[in-house]
Structure 1
Amino acid sequence: MKDHLLQYIQKNILIGDGAMGTLLHGYGVPVGACGEEWNLTRPDLIREIHASYLAAGATLIETNTYGANRETLSKYGLEDQVEAINRAAVQLAREAIGDEAYIVGAVGGILGGRKTNFDREKLQYAYDEQINSLLKESLDGIMLETFCNVEEAIIAIEAIKRVSSIPVLCQLSVQDLTRTLDGYPLDEAFGRLLEAGASVVGLNCYNGPANLIRSFEKLNLPEGTLLSAYPNAGLPAYVDGKYEYESSPEYFAESAEKLVELGIRIIGGCCGTTPEHISAVAKRLKGKEPQRVQVNERALRPDRVVIPYPEISSEKTIPQLARERTTVIVELDPPRELDFEPFLDGAAALKEAGVDAITMADNSLAMTRMSNMALGAIVKEKIGVRPLVHMTCRDRNSIGQQSHLMGLHALGIDHLLAITGDPTRCGDLPGASSVYDMTSFELIRMIKQLNEGIGFSGRELKKRSTFTVATAFNPNTRHLHKAVERLEKKLEAGADYIMSQPLYDHDQFAQVAEATAHLDAPMFVGIMPLTGHRNAEFLHNEVPGIQLSDEVRSRMAKFEGDDARKQGVEIALELLETAQRYFNGIYLITPFMRYEMTVELALQAKKGVKEDHLARN
């Protein structure tokens, strides 16, 4: 292989190798273990795998360095071995291959499919370190692969271009066929990578050959664009704790022939592929002439689906109302039993009291409760009051979150509170898994992405949702300014208004009002009536985010039974009076389904509105 890599690819098809991890698992690397460490501990096996792909007909070999960056290696305590692992990998590939094939240094995406606020400086450092380590050895190019985020891929390309003119091959991974995970149409994403300095662009992982072919068919790229494709061996099945791929080498080879017809110049394999798959591809493509990428008239998008704007409801949103007048939302927890009639009785009583919305928690304190989506739909239909449902990051993975949101949209439930959620070990099923696929910041951002008509995967949804999103705020902290800084980030992510934890100190209302005066989002301050002394002590000492003043605890300690509940309402009424001096938004939290307590508070809050109206008229 004497020609420069880019010179060779102008006139020839390159056969890439297949999966490294698949074979390493077969040799005994457990799923989830660090296969890159074997560059140091089992160099003989790494050489053997490279040699097996060369023997199968591969003319482009990747080093075993996909996850050999500081961020990934730190999970295994190997962050100080970045240079040693990367340099060893290149040396092993060169020892196994010699000059019989091109060798490219593999650099994998760090973020993967996670929706996250990435630290640009941290990513830059990780890519700089790995790439500089690889380039200390003899390479023909760098292969960036499995990048879901275009901006992250550009960071990696820039890291290479700062220190070398070596060819850069950059492969994205897409779940939707036409868009990246961060929302770029695929041809636009490839254009940005080429502008940044990539020599070859392509797709790998997540999809088998059929979907990659569909993606390439939809592209409209400049003629002469150099493309690569490394599909998985079909979709995996999860059998006895292992992922198994079913696509045969023969099918994989047939698909490779179709990829060549679309102008793909480098064809290899990703997850589940073996030397047998690569051998079948090499035999099928032997003697094939490369094809140029053709302008795809069907992809010029004259009939591209235009996502309609949502129909504008005449009903004002909660934050719109709060900018004009006192607005009251009341939390009424879904029941922990199958009997939900008492819940509906409470919702009806609160509607009669004039509340603007009823908000329902999502298994608060990790206690199993009836679905707030179902109850929200019933409240909306039967009671005629606006539901405001909570969504936690705890119970649903990303698939479940988007599915849940699509269902809420179909039901006409468009007001949400996005929160992290209490860990399952706090609740009634402590052995259940806490998912936390995303943070509350990311959940807010993804909900707002649906408002743009784009799904979590980047897929166009043909319509736009109309969600209004609240975010939680805990002012019960020693460092209020830090809580406000966190709140600012949530608003930057797209939150429309704020719902605070309950306050029990009159001075706090003024402090919170002053600390958040610069924020352009309505604040709904939390007020929760206490039911007794034990309830007060439990909240103060055991529930995260709630603190009671010494005065309130002292007052509650003097009463029992009905007298204690009356005192709880009296304290809440006093807090309400103070709150209304500073805020239009009132968030009443019903304790233990005792909705008569929050009905009394709601009536008092609304009485102030009526008196205000009469005074002005």
Structure 2
Amino acid sequence: MTKPDLRSALAQGRLVGDGAMGTYLYQMGFPVGISYEELNLLQPDVIRGVHRRYVEAGARLIETNTFSANREKLSKYGLEGEVEAINRAGVKLAREAAGDEAYVVGAIGSIRAGKRKNVRTSRVVEALQEQIAVLLESGVDGVLLETFYDLEELMLALKLVRRAGGLPVICQFATDGTGATQDGVPLHEAFARLQEAGADVVGFNCRSGPNGILRAMEKLAVPDGLFTSVFPNAGMPDYVDGKYSFTAGPDYFGASARRFADLGVRLIGGCCGTTPEHIAAVAAALRGYEPGGAGQQLAPQPAEAAAVTVRPLAAAPAAGTARPQEPSLLDLVKQRHTVIVELDPPRDLSIDKFMAGAAALKEAKADALTLADNSMAVTRMSNLALGYLVREQVGLRPLIHIACRDRNLIGTQSHMMGLHALGIDHVLAVTGDPAKFGDLPGSSSVYDLTSFEIIRMIKQLNDGIAFSGKPLKQRAQFVVGAAFNPNVKHLDKAIQRLERKIEAGADYIMTQPVYDPALIERIAESTSHLDVPVFIGIMPLASGRNAEYLHNEVPGIQLSDEVRARMAGLEGTEGRRVGVDIAKELLDTAMRHFRGIYLITPFLAYEMSVELALYVREKASRDFHLSPLAK
């Protein structure tokens, strides 16, 4: 029996899309830095095989391997003359793999990729027209315009497809859940304008895992009569020892598919990091699906910050004047339980709530406030500037994260020299999440240094030697921390990696959040031979959905089954109350084994961290004042 056309299939029910091509080829051993689209010509059996695995997993819509097969993108590899051959081969291979079981859509990606002025509009038009013509002539069932950041470019591409023919068109934005396109158009308005211009389906792919895209869908008023689609990533990518990996497993992906279906989404597939196993889970979850309602409501947002008085900015010390020395965290942790609290810098220009949180944590007797360096590759206010304000206005020690991602060797040394001049001497060296998965995916990840090398280079400044090897007139006094992820299958191997960081010069360790008392005890046993203090990470959970997001989508975080069961279905005030209770139970175990406590604040909800910091202080004075302490 002949299957209906793609529009009719979407009108009749839900379709399962395929998963990633590029990251799947990467997992198969094909390196970064080549044209995966050229493999249509060089390795046709491989590409056909990937398509076929997705069909066998249950995908009923297959994308051609042509995402970057336009003249502009292919010119990077000297392949601008192969546009027609690569696109024709892409359609042929997908069609051979799909047979009569699945629809084939011609995949076309953004040329500007979020860099709005990097390619003239005339060149964008020429490149898109050329690719669109070849795909339509090659016999696709529809066109998929995916991973667009700006409405302007997506509208341009849609109009070019519409001029060339009447096939169904799927338009997909890359979103981080903020409610607007990168050129500032509210998503509901962008969807409406695309529908008016002839889009059959509008949705999201890439950039976010299921949780981020779900947030965007829940906030969105979809125009009547418009079908929607979602192709999330498999969570946030992790970048360790030069290799990328993704965290969200097939079971979580399948459960997320049902939640998307509850919101009325018609086409559900996967993007970066997904595999045939993820798509098989989506297909199984949607088999026999019946609508379950309008989807869950968003958890309530934290209450607005109460007014907190901060000190006026103090005058900077005169040149040559030594700043008064206060005990370092290394000194404090030898004497008593010491509390570091993380508070993320704002994504906005307003710092009122952040500073209110810093003041409240100072009042709760936190020993240091640690500030991430554009965590998850999302643009935030400079942690150097905020750290200075926290110290001068609030009187709380700042501990600044330094990511390898954002600065080359020149910028990193310059940054460290600035910290030295400001008297900020406690830092944490981290690799940093890859830029392409943040809110400005057109930006570059630098990675001139590994986390081991950046530790070594910072300590070199303490010896009065610049990164270039030249002597400096002064010596820095940086106390350098290293990050440690204990939420791994082989803890012994993670400990070996940690030992290498200590050999490179790390003075203390800060762990990813831990949610299992038994694991805290294993960490204590496994690190007992180390001669540097360990600050054990504890992050209170805000809701059941927050728990599932962290467990499935964020690299380096893993929740125990017991914690996930306790948080399941909890939202709002009740979710936060139980989240704090769980954190206190974890602190009961952690404080028996570690003097260093690292509290991580979710969603700038500093009230939760204030309660936990006070709990540590009270418990320490009550239970540990006469007791011997672990390291």
> TM-score scaled by structure 2?
0.49
